[in-house]
């Protein structure tokens, strides 16, 4: 009975060990599933291999425990050595994976930082080009503004009269001066009583009117051509007219014979004025053409500046997108680092648990070996006791057989005696 109780206790201990190992295997599987889900979400796959290696080591331990009943000690030592080698490999793979993953993240971060630096350089170069293109445009705009301001100031300084009105007023002044000269010539002719003929007043007036008509036409044409805003050439023309009027006022009174020469001078002055007018008109057209070219060039430069600005905006948006992606990647790397730290901590805890489990399993195996040795010794003692008892039983059976034989002999002798007594009794009765 004692042997049966000890065997049942040992079997219960073995079943408890197997149950604890199965629970550990289930915990390792749950850890593997949870960590594999988190790692797949973040792009880490190496810890699964490590967990599978740990699982294989645990399964090898469980198998060794299950098969420890009918295996000798040398085989158990070989399995222990194999388990230690597997654990060392798992530790090496864990350390290598934990070292390689942050290195890859750093390399990606360095690549993204290099791309951002290149984009910043390109944006700076584009901005410098835009500033170079904007500089001449700004200079032209400033020159145009200064020219427009000067023209406005000149227009404000002069009286608010049209070109036609100015020409009419100057022609009336010239006509008055001419009348005064003619009256002075008539007076001088009458006083001198010379035989020289003088031009009558009517003839002078008609000639002056003949001269006046083209000048009025020229001034009307000038007014028609200069309906547009005044420019510096028109101011030059008016200055020349005022100088001519001033020179006419301060001239000495010529004699009557010089009237034809004066008319020729006036016609020559008229021709000079028309030539200067044409020259100024051509110069004005040239300046307008240059202004138009400058404006077209300015529009082109503005378009180029707008294009450069648009390109810079696009580059900035791309840079912002890259920076956002970089920040997101940094956040992902930070999260991965956190998860890796947690996983490292969990791996260390699992490793410590595995070491503790190894210690407990070793102690249990030692206890099992001790129990097996004790059980073997007890079995040998029981076998010896059984052999002794068997010998005793054999001896007792022999003694019993001998006793039975003796009892049979005694019974036979007793029956013989009974018979003899009965015969003797009968003989006695017969004798009586």
Residue by residue, DSSP assigns 268-308 as: HHHHHHHHHHHHHHHHHHHHHHHHHHHHHHHHHHHHHHHHH
Q: Is 257 in contact with 194 (CB distance < 8 Å)? A: no
pLDDT of residue 33: 62
* Local confidence pLDDT in tens for the 432 residues of the chain: 444 455 455 566 656 656 665 666 666 556 556 555 544 444 444 444 444 454 555 455 445 544 444 444 444 555 555 555 545 445 455 445 545 555 666 676 677 677 767 766 766 766 676 666 666 666 766 776 777 777 677 666 655 445 555 556 666 776 677 777 677 777 766 666 554 444 444 444 444 444 444 443 343 444 444 434 344 444 444 455 555 554 554 444 444 456 777 778 887 887 888 888 788 888 888 888 888 888 888 788 888 888 888 888 898 888 888 888 888 888 898 898 898 899 889 899 999 999 999 899 989 999 999 888 998 999 999 999 999 999 989 998 899 899 899 888 998 888 988 888 888 888 888 886
Helix crossing, 201-225 with 259-431: angle to 10°?
A: 10
Task: Count the neighbouring beta carbons within 10 Å of the beta carbon of residue 28.
Answer: 20
pLDDT of residue 190: 66
- Its pTM stands at 0.28
CA 104 vs. chain centroid, Å, equals 18
d(CA 119, CA 113): 10
pLDDT of residue 272: 84
CA 389 vs. chain centroid, Å, equals 92
Supply 318's token pair. 């791309």
pLDDT of residue 387: 92
Task: Count the neighbouring beta carbons within 10 Å of the beta carbon of residue 90.
Answer: 22
pLDDT of residue 261: 78
SS3 125: helix
d(CA 259, CA 261): 5
Runs of H (alpha helix) within 158-194: 163-192
pLDDT of residue 285: 84
């Amino acid at each position: 009975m004692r042997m049966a109780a000890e065997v049942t206790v040992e079997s219960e201990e073995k079943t408890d060990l197997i149950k604890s190992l199965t629970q550990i295997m289930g915990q390792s599987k749950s850890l593997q599933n949870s960590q594999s889900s988190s790692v797949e979400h973040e792009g880490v796959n190496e810890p699964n291999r490590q967990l599978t290696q740990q699982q294989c080591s645990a399964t090898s331990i469980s198998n060794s425990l299950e098969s420890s009943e009918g295996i000798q000690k040398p085989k158990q030592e070989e399995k222990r050595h194999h388990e230690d080698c597997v654990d060392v490999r798992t530790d090496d793979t864990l350390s290598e994976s934990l070292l390689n993953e942050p290195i890859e993240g750093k390399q990606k971060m360095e690549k993204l930082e290099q791309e951002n630096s290149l984009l910043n350089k390109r944006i700076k170069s584009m901005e410098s080009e835009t500033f170079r293109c904007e500089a001449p445009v700004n200079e032209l705009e400033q020159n145009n503004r200064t020219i427009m301001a000067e023209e406005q100031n000149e227009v404000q300084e002069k009286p608010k009269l049209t070109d036609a009105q100015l020409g009419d007023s100057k022609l009336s002044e010239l006509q008055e001066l001419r009348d005064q000269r003619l009256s002075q010539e008539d007076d001088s002719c009458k006083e001198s009583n010379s035989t020289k003929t003088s031009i009558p007043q009517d003839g002078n007036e008609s000639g002056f009117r003949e001269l006046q008509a083209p000048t009025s036409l020229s001034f009307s044409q000038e007014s028609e051509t200069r309906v547009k805003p005044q420019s510096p050439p028109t101011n030059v023309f008016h200055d020349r007219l005022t100088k001519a009027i001033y020179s006419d006022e301060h001239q000495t009174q010529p004699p009557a014979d010089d009237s034809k020469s004066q008319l020729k001078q006036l016609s020559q002055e008229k021709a000079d004025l028309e030539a200067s007018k044409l020259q100024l008109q051509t110069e004005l057209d040239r300046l307008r053409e240059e202004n138009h070219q400058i404006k077209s060039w300015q529009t082109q430069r503005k378009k180029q500046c707008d294009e450069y600005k648009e390109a810079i905006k696009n580059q900035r948006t791309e840079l912002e997108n890259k920076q956002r992606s970089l920040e997101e990647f940094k956040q992902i790397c930070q999260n991965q680092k956190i998860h890796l730290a947690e996983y490292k901590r969990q791996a260390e805890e699992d490793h410590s648990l595995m070491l503790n489990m190894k210690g407990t399993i070793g102690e249990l195996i030692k206890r099992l070996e001790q129990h097996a040795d004790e059980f073997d010794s007890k079995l040998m003692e029981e076998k010896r006791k059984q052999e002794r008892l068997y010998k005793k039983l054999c001896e007792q059976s022999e003694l019993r057989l001998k006793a039975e034989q003796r009892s049979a002999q005694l019974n036979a002798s007793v029956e013989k005696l009974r018979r003899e007594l009965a015969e003797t009794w009968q003989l006695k009765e017969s004798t009586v």
